[in-house]
Amino acid sequence: MEYLFSYGTLQDLQVQQYIFGRLLKGKADAALGFKKMENVVYGRYPLVVSTKNLGDKVAGMAYEVNDSDLKKADIYETIAYKREKFPLESGDEAWIYIENSN
């Protein structure tokens, strides 16, 4: 099982229904080594920035997803973000959308 960590719009139930065709099963968790910045992407959406300091963390939700879900999320998130795997406070690992600086 894969996890997708959301700190923004993917927590919205209407957004989940639109993108995935269903509501995702998830649990509250936190991404370690990140700080959240609001209204960064397109002047409207949040972004997490890696600080490499495990004392920094961003609260959010870790959702159970499959490969098809991840592909749909990639399209939704656009090229403004890239997806990478990071540790969560729970000890699980999750895919997290971070700044795509390429």
H or E segment to which residue 20 belongs: helix 13-20
Q: Which two tokens stand for residue 71?
A: 């592909």
Looking at per-residue pLDDT, the higher value among 34 and 18 belongs to 18
**Average pLDDT for residues 56-83, to the nearest whole number?**
94
Say whether pLDDT at 93 is over 90. yes
Q: Are 61 and 29 in contact (CB under 8 A)?
A: yes
pLDDT score, position 18: 96
Say whether pLDDT at 69 is over 90. yes
Strand, helix or coil for residue 46: strand
Say whether pLDDT at 29 is over 80. yes
CA angle 96, 44, 34 (to 5 degrees): 35
Domain 2-99 sits in CATH at: 3.10.490.10
Q: How confident is the model at residue 43 (pLDDT cuts 50, 70, 90)?
A: low
Global pTM reads 0.89
Domain ranges of the chain: 2-99
pLDDT score, position 95: 97
